[in-house]
Structure 1
Amino acid sequence: MTTKTATRMRQEERRKLSTKKLIKACLELADEFGMSAVTFEAIGQKAGYSRGLASQKFGSKAGLMRAVINQLHEEVARARADAHHEGMTGLEALEVFVHVHLNSLLKSSANRAYFVLFCSAIAEKSEMRELFAESHDRSKAELMELFSRGVEDGSVRKDIDVEQAALLTGSQLIGISTQSLADPNFDLERIETAFVSLIRTSYAA
């Protein structure tokens, strides 16, 4: 490996690390203090960098939110892969989808922060709403794939409207997630059990 190539690799590693640290700082600030605390200056300071670096990397609040959303989708995809959902029936994979989503709210401040940011975007009627709508469309597409898989493998009823089932399931998860922010005593584990039971009752073949 040439010195120039090694230098480029180290630079790329540093860029990736700084991006991850800045996104982590953004999510921690949102989880603890809300959207108003998410400024490039605060993010840079919390991550140990300058305000200029955060601004340079993301360009705008919208650019920052897009990076945050993309990273969280990647993390959820990895969690689902770790559960080996690809080898499951469609119905089993749907249950994993629900578990990963709700478990992340219990164990990850990053995922709670996502819904803090989402609710802020709605309340403030900001341009960020479009980014969250795109994010939820991605989740809807993933759910549609799981429902379709279930129809094909016989674990899900063949008479369902796949798109509507995916939209309803995703919307219910969004509602559960935002309710968990509003109520500190909200029992996510109990809700997960009830929600999985509802999915089976509604969609199992």
Structure 2
Amino acid sequence: MTIRVEGELRNKQQMRTERSANRLLKAAAEIVVEGGVAALTLASVGERAGYSRGLVTTRFGSKGNLLRALVERMTKTWAAAHVEPRVRGKSGLDSLLEMMREMREQMSRSPEEVLALQVLLFDALNPGSVTRPPIVEYNANLLRSVESSIEAGMHDGTIGSDLDAQREARWVLEGIRGIGFHWLLEPDDYDAVAALTHLIEVVEARLGVS
């Protein structure tokens, strides 16, 4: 009986921890979109989320750790939860298209987080930025993922075998990055969802075997 009660208490504590961490990271994303990385402080995140600065410090320790956690939430955690289930078992071309479709759905589902990621992408251009290492890793992993899908498609016949997989992968990623830049520049006027929909159609037409 005691073991069961202790287990229930641990589960409740874990749920509270996850809930507060999610609220803090959501608040951090909103602040980054509104004022950039410079506007982000542990105190501002705690206030926005309805918690104390002390809780933010306990959860993340520093602004750098908070930013790295935010990058991971918007890249690795998102990919594991939303992209991997969609692409599993798909052909090379379909896996690439499904990944891009999930990006498009994420724009509609969590626009603040996607815009925050764009801010962090540009912040990483600064060699001294704490976001540079995780962003460089994310960018490289995404490029490899796109290239792997193209190579798989060339092997399974869904993508033309005469293409240069690395060059095509860079072209796809450049298109995605361009959309992110325009959306960040004009968040209220630029239709990023429509732009990505068009890019998906172009990728399918360009790479697919007719």
Q: Which residue of 1 aligns with 2:200?
A: 196
TM alignment of 1:8-157, pairs within 5 A = 8-73=10-75, 74-80=77-83, 84-108=86-110, 109-122=112-125, 125-157=128-160
Question: Comparing 130-139 with 84-93, which one deviates more in the overlay?
Answer: 84-93
Amino acid corresponding to residue 198 of structure 1 in structure 2: V
Instruction: Tell me, in whole angstroms, the C-alpha distance in 2 between the residues paired with 1:170 and 1:17.
Output: 33
Is residue 147–residue 166 contact of structure 2 (8 Å, CA) maintained in 1? yes
Q: Which runs of 4+ in 1 moved over 6 A?
A: none
CA deviation string 1:33-86 (max 9, x = no partner): 32222110011111122212212222223321221122122224433356x432
Amino acid corresponding to residue 22 of structure 1 in structure 2: L
Shift of residue 155, structure 1, vs aligned partner: 0.5
Is residue 105–residue 177 contact of structure 1 (8 Å, CA) maintained in 2? no
Calculate the TM-score normalised by the size of structure 2.
0.83
Question: Comparing 25-34 with 156-165, which one deviates more in the overlay?
Answer: 156-165
Of residues 169, 173, 190 in structure 1, which corresponds to 2:172? 169
Helix, strand or coil at the partner of 1:2: helix
Q: Which residue of 1 aligns with 2:7?
A: 5
Q: CA RMSD in A?
A: 2.4
For structure 2, the residue ranges without an aligned partner over 5 or more in a row are none
Instruction: Tell me, in whole angstroms, the C-alpha distance in 1 between the residues paired with 2:8 and 2:101.
Output: 41
Instruction: Tell me, in whole angstroms, the C-alpha distance in 2 between the residues paired with 1:188 and 1:23.
Output: 23
Instruction: Tell me, in whole angstroms, the C-alpha distance in 1 between the residues paired with 2:33 and 2:141.
Output: 23
Is residue 31–residue 116 contact of structure 1 (8 Å, CA) maintained in 2? yes
1:2/1:35 Cα in 2 relative to 1: closer, same or farther (>3 Å)?
A: same
Instruction: Tell me, in whole angstroms, the C-alpha distance in 2 between the residues paired with 1:193 and 1:111.
Output: 16
Calculate the TM-score normalised by the size of structure 1.
0.85
Instruction: Tell me, in whole angstroms, the C-alpha distance in 1 between the residues paired with 2:124 and 2:61.
Output: 18
Question: Comparing 166-175 with 123-132, which one deviates more in the overlay?
Answer: 123-132
**Number of residue-to-residue matches in the alignment:** 204
Is residue 104–residue 197 contact of structure 2 (8 Å, CA) maintained in 1? no
Helix, strand or coil at the partner of 1:160: coil
Amino acid corresponding to residue 134 of structure 1 in structure 2: E
Is residue 65–residue 131 contact of structure 1 (8 Å, CA) maintained in 2? no
Is residue 44–residue 54 contact of structure 1 (8 Å, CA) maintained in 2? yes
- Percent identity for Structure 1 against Structure 2: 25
For structure 1, the residue ranges without an aligned partner over 5 or more in a row are none
